[in-house]
Amino acid sequence: MRIAIVSDIHANLAAFRSVLAGAEAGGSLDALWCLGDTVGYGPQPNECVEMLRSYKNVTVAGNHDLASCGKMPTDDFNGAAATAAEWTAKELSDSSRDYLTELPLVIEEGAFTLVHGSLRWPEWEYLLSSEQAQAQFELQKTRFSLVGHTHLPAMCREDIASPPPLRPAEDGARVELTEERMIINPGGVGQPRDGDPRAAYALYDSDSATITFSRVEYDIPETQAAMQQAGLPAWLIERLAYGK
């Protein structure tokens, strides 16, 4: 089976399309596993939800999904994020809102656990440090966990002797899945934050038991123009060009 692991699509349809084209270039996809924040920040929330739903998908909720369907207050969001969440809430169709409202925070799928932030705090914790990775492994019942939220492609192998570091994952990096427990973050589709503006995703191939990290270019000006038209905050529009 070939499964694309995507996260933080953030209503960026051009980025999502490029990721799907990139993932499908090597063969058709059997499913999408989506780690949340399908909406928020970007200009095409309904289109992205519909695109996701056109695939067999296993999807968890992120903080932006929860905020945009009224399940989480935006008090702790920064100004631009809160403005975008309010815009998204008004924009969502009933069908998209119902879909997002019903998403669980954590899903176990075979040897994988899917969660947006971390198992300790699914909708909010940014899993970045060794200490946080250790805490994740303590709560992780499956061999692998897949997280998003930071928009930074990264991976971590469990090390009983010393707290494991989370290492950035480069474009093309390939991870062999063995008995070793791991945490994997595919990076962000719709708003990368590692200084590389290309959309990020990972591809799980169950036949070769590998996960491969990938980056693809997409039409950034197309998304920026749609954001401008929607009246979304300038800072959100500009940051797409820098991948920050």
Q: How many CB atoms lie within 10 A of CB 87?
A: 21
State which residue, 123 or 203, has the beta carbon closest to Zn ion.
123
Least distance (Å) from Zn ion to the CB of residue 97? Answer: 18
Please identify the residue of the shown chain whose CB is closest to the bound Zn ion: 37
Least distance (Å) from Zn ion to the CB of residue 190? Answer: 8
Count of residues of this chain found to bind Zn ion when the rule CB under 5 A is applied: 2
State which residue, 127 or 177, has the beta carbon closest to Zn ion.
127
Query: Which of 3, 4, 5, 8 is the binder for Zn ion (CB under 5 A)?
Result: 8
Least distance (Å) from Zn ion to the CB of residue 154? Answer: 14
Least distance (Å) from Zn ion to the CB of residue 238? Answer: 17
State which residue, 164 or 190, has the beta carbon closest to Zn ion.
190
State which residue, 37 or 125, has the beta carbon closest to Zn ion.
37
Least distance (Å) from Zn ion to the CB of residue 64? Answer: 6
State which residue, 4 or 67, has the beta carbon closest to Zn ion.
67
> Under rule CB under 5 A, which residues in 165-204 are in contact with Zn ion?
none
> Under rule CB under 5 A, which residues in 32-51 are in contact with Zn ion?
37
State which residue, 209 or 241, has the beta carbon closest to Zn ion.
241
CA-to-CA dists, residue 128 to 35, 144, 154, angstroms: 16, 16, 9
The region of 31-39, 106-114, 134-142, 206-214 touching Zn ion under the rule CB under 5 A is 31-39
Distance CA 47, CA 242 (A): 24
- Told to check if 123 binds Zn ion by CB under 5 A, we report no
Residues that bind Zn ion (CB under 5 A): 8, 37
